[in-house]
Amino acid sequence: MNSFTKDDFNQLLAVFREQSLQILDEMGQGLLRLEESFSDEEAFARLRRGAHTIKGDSACVGLNCITEIAHKIEDIFDLVVRG
């Protein structure tokens, strides 16, 4: 296992933050699309993938609270899709 310096870890966190903000923006757009058409299955799939990506990325950098929240959001999208 690699040993990260504090600077390496801070860079990793910065990448996580940037990517997560982009994903959250895309998820917000997806939610707006669902306002127009709640039956848009592809929009639900993209929203779930966004939550899944944030869940995995946050786990990699040790942000357990974010991991748990993203997991719950992912579960909610699963429930909605299943009816």
Residue 1 lies in a domain: no
Measured CA to CA, the distance from residue 75 to residue 71 in angstroms comes to 6
> For position 31, which CATH number holds?
1.20.120.160
CA 42 – CA 53 distance, rounded (Å): 16
**Which residue's structure tokens are 């039956």?**
39
pLDDT at 58 over 70: yes
Q: Report d(CA 67, CA 61) in Å as an integer.
A: 10
Into how many domains does the chain fold? 1
19 in a structural domain: yes
Is residue 61, in this structure, part of any structural domain at all?
A: yes
* pLDDT per residue as tens digits for the range 28-53: 999 998 898 888 888 888 999 999 99
CA 30/CA 28 separation, integer angstroms = 5
Band of residue 2 on the pLDDT scale cut at 50, 70, 90: low
Q: What region, left, alpha or beta, does residue 62 occupy, with left being phi > 0 and alpha being psi -120 to 50 degrees? A: left
Nearest Cα to Cα of residue 12 among 47, 48, 51, 62: 62
Domain that holds residue 74: 6-82
